[in-house]
């Protein structure tokens, strides 16, 4: 009986839990993405995405980091087109110890106009840290 209780305790602690440090890490990646965007650095912005990213918008679904990067580069060819990006995080919801959902809004301030919308992001904790694996932006 003591062996099975010890086994349950070991399994429970080895699975880990989503912590405040995990949420801070996710928020930090989003902050780094904002800063990269504002510098006109799409490759830097893409560092927050996993290689397996799937991006879903009203224009369709694009999967793979290279394809998503190509789309960003085509849609935002220069710093003027990129403008100043601001994220507003509404919530960070743990989805187990290795995943989290983040919902929020985005605003893009440019000289000619201001755009905005909302997003839902599925994050996964990988060896390199927290990365976005699904991005549904509208």
Residues 6+ apart with CB under 8 A from 60: none
pLDDT tens string 30-40: 999 999 999 99
CB 72 within 8 A of CB 45: yes
pLDDT tens string 61-107: 999 999 999 999 999 999 999 999 999 999 999 999 999 999 999 99
Asked if the model's pLDDT at residue 3 lies above 60, the reply is no
Higher pLDDT: 13 or 84? It is 84
Per-domain boundaries in the chain: 19-137
Q: What is the mean pLDDT of residues 111-133?
A: 97
The dihedral built from the CA positions of residue 78, 80, 40 and 32, taken in this order, carries a sign that is: negative
Least confident range of 4-13, 15-24, 109-118: 4-13
Task: Quote the mean pLDDT of the chain.
Answer: 91
Q: What is the mean pLDDT of residues 21-49?
A: 98
Confidence of residue 1 (pLDDT cuts 50, 70, 90): very low
Which CATH code, of 3.40.50.720, 3.10.450.50, 3.30.1330.80, 3.90.220.20, is assigned to 19-137?
Answer: 3.10.450.50
Nearest 5°: the CA angle 35, 36, 39 is 90
* Per-residue confidence (pLDDT) for residue 16, from 0 to 100: 75
């Amino acid at each position: 009986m003591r062996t099975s209780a010890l086994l349950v305790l070991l399994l429970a602690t080895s699975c880990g839990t989503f912590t405040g440090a995990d949420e801070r890490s996710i928020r930090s990646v989003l902050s780094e993405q904002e800063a990269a965007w504002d510098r006109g650095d799409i490759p830097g912005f893409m560092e927050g995405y996993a290689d397996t990213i799937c991006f879903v918008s009203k224009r369709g679904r694009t999967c793979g980091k290279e394809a998503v990067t190509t789309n960003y580069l085509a849609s935002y060819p220069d710093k003027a087109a990129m403008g100043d990006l601001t994220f507003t995080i509404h919530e960070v919801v743990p989805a187990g110890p290795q995943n989290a959902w983040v919902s929020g809004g985005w605003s893009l301030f440019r000289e000619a106009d201001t755009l905005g919308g909302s997003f839902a992001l599925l994050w996964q904790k990988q060896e390199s840290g927290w990365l976005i694996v699904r991005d549904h932006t509208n």
